[in-house]
Amino acid sequence: MLYFSKLRIVLIIITSLFFILITLSNFLKIENELLDKKINLGLDLQGGSYLLLEIDNSPVIEQKLQNLTISFRNHFKNKKIRLSNLKLANQTIIFSVDDKFKQIVLDEFNSEESTINIYYPRFKTHQLEISEENNNFKVKYSRQGLVELKTSSQDQALEIVRRRIDEIGTNEPNILKRGNDRILVELPGLDDPMRIKSLLGKTANLTFRFVTNTSEDSFGSEKLKYEDSEEESTVSKRIILSGDNLLDAQPRMDSETNETVVSFTLDRVGAKRFGKATSTGIGKQLAIVLDGKIISAPVIRDTIASGSGQISGGFTFQSATDLALLLRSGALPAPLNIIEERTVGPDLGQDSINAGMIALIVGFILVIVFIFVKYKIFGLITNITLIINLFLLVGILTIFEATLTLPGIAGIILTVGMAVDANVLIFERIKEELKNERNNLIAFDSGYTKSRTAILDANITTLIAAIILFFMGSGPIKGFSLTLGTGIFTTLFSVYFIARLLTVIYVSKNKEKEGLI
């Protein structure tokens, strides 16, 4: 029967008031941790920057194969087997062996107990393709191996991109994977993406190496340019220290020279290496190399055993801050290229908000007028329920600090339509029941009960579609599915608790009246 216990009535009222208050917190300043939550506006509403980054995995593949080349040489050298013409070309390791060693080499590659590489059993099955023809061997990454490598690079790059953006303090960034070699970055509220592009475009591979100014170096040497000039220095390929040994990096003003520098702190291993290098290299220049360019090359005056130092290079405070940020966040596993970028101005975002709100208000008013004309007092009950339903929906989105997009507003409008549809089904069913039942209470109870299956079926199928859109879609599609899915739950609650409660109150007071609906 149409009956609500006092406890249920109190819970419905408290729940409704709670979410109304949460919704109003978006427009009011309330000093409370729970009520301080807000709905975030998406890129299309707030304006901001959209960047699609592609990972260049070629250097990673080359480096991995170069390491394998060294492993192969050392492994077979220990077995007294000479590899001839060992080289790396077109992302393929190529070498040849004498005919008498051919079978031994094949057995080494095919044996799961081989110590060529500690990962070899996995490489053999998935990651590497090994072919042999006329004593010439070719080793390269298989398709599966490339997928695994790209996925690994993408995961690392995603984390580092997130660290760099979080360090800047951008509000509610959206950082997502696209395929296995792309990363999508959405930055609402950021209308000048130049600094972000500069930070994301740098690999931030930091190394400390001695300047030799001679080609005679047991580790080999190379000529590198300085960052802000065409001047070159010959630098040893031996890496004294890398960015992996950094614990922290911060910009600061040097009290002696009054210039902006980047101070850094090393971990225990790094401090030990740095101390040893500076003790044996007094009088030498130590090049600080970032992404293949020399930032500075100070002369070592004394042993630095404290595990801390500083990088100078004519920095402004902004450039020193950015360099410190890059060093703290770590080096990217591979370079990132910006293949697509868009900037949405705040004016365009405001236009989208205005258009969406106008559509919502106009649609809402038309629905209210139609329902009131069609069902009179029960139309009024439906309209009150619709308003509370919107408060419930916005309140839930506020609690989870969801990001509202233009398609999200479309999802809210669709929720209004579905809520009306549920009430129409109930009221039309009640009309059918009143034709055969003189008792208003029984007729109304039967109407709610017998229409439940149709309403649940419609909402559950829509919810399934929303869930699929949420997990399979991205960006704006997720926003639409989120508001639509949330709206389904608030609709069912408002129809079967709020609207039904109001209906009970009215029908109970007018149970003898004919033509209620």
Span 158-176, pLDDT tens digits: 988 888 888 776 666 788 8
Cβ 376 vs Cβ 89: under 8 Å: no
Nearest to 361 by CA among 384, 390, 341: 390
Q: Which residues does 456 contact at the CB level (< 8 Å), separation at least 6?
A: 492
Give the whole-angstrom CA distance, residue 303 versus residue 281.
Answer: 8
Residues found in the chain? 517
Residue 85: strand, helix, or coil: strand
Angle at the Cα of 224 from the Cα atoms of 220 and 225, rounded to 5 degrees: 170
**Domains of the chain with CATH codes:** 6-45+345-509 (1.20.1640.10), 52-203 (no CATH), 206-331 (3.30.1360.200)
Neighbour count for residue 363 (Cβ, 10 Å): 15
Amino acid of residue 49:
S
Nearest to 498 by CA among 399, 418, 383, 400: 383
Give the whole-angstrom CA distance, residue 98 versus residue 100.
Answer: 5
What is the pLDDT confidence band of residue 491, given thresholds at 50, 70 and 90?
very high
Q: What is the mean pLDDT of residues 22-27?
A: 85
Neighbour count for residue 345 (Cβ, 10 Å): 11
For residue 99, the 8-state DSSP code is G
Neighbour count for residue 259 (Cβ, 10 Å): 12
Q: What pLDDT, on a 0 to 100 scale, did the predictor assign at position 393?
A: 93
Q: What is the mean pLDDT of residues 2-30?
A: 86
What is the pLDDT confidence band of residue 118, given thresholds at 50, 70 and 90?
very low
Answer yes or no: is pLDDT of 345 > 90. no
Alpha-helical regions (H) of 227-343: 268-280, 317-329
Reported as a single tens digit per residue, the pLDDT across 370-420 is 888 888 888 899 889 999 999 999 999 988 888 788 888 888 888 888 888
Label each residue of 384-431 as H, E or C.
HHHHHHHHHHHHHHHHCCCEECHHHHHHHHHHHHHHHHHHHHHHHHHH
Cβ 243 vs Cβ 252: under 8 Å: no
What is the pLDDT confidence band of residue 298, given thresholds at 50, 70 and 90?
confident
Give the whole-angstrom CA distance, residue 505 versus residue 75.
Answer: 86
Q: What pLDDT, on a 0 to 100 scale, did the predictor assign at position 215?
A: 59
Give the whole-angstrom CA distance, residue 185 versus residue 169.
Answer: 14
- State the Rg of the chain over Cα: 34
Q: What pLDDT, on a 0 to 100 scale, did the predictor assign at position 126?
A: 56
Give the whole-angstrom CA distance, residue 285 versus residue 300.
Answer: 6
Give the whole-angstrom CA distance, residue 120 versus residue 103.
Answer: 18
Q: Which residues does 187 contact at the CB level (< 8 Å), separation at least 6?
A: 43, 48, 49, 50, 51, 165, 170, 173, 174, 193, 196
Cβ 52 vs Cβ 335: under 8 Å: no
Give the whole-angstrom CA distance, residue 10 versus residue 214.
Answer: 86
Place of tokens 């910009």: 251
* SS percent in the chain: helix, strand, coil, step 5: 55, 20, 25
| Phi, psi at 259, each rounded to 5° | -120, 160
Q: What pLDDT, on a 0 to 100 scale, did the predictor assign at position 2?
A: 62
DSSP H or E segment with residue 293:
strand 293-296
Q: What pLDDT, on a 0 to 100 scale, did the predictor assign at position 121?
A: 47
Mean pLDDT of the chain: 83
Q: What is the mean pLDDT of residues 52-81?
A: 84
Cβ 471 vs Cβ 477: under 8 Å: no
What is the pLDDT confidence band of residue 200, given thresholds at 50, 70 and 90?
confident
Q: What pLDDT, on a 0 to 100 scale, did the predictor assign at position 192?
A: 65
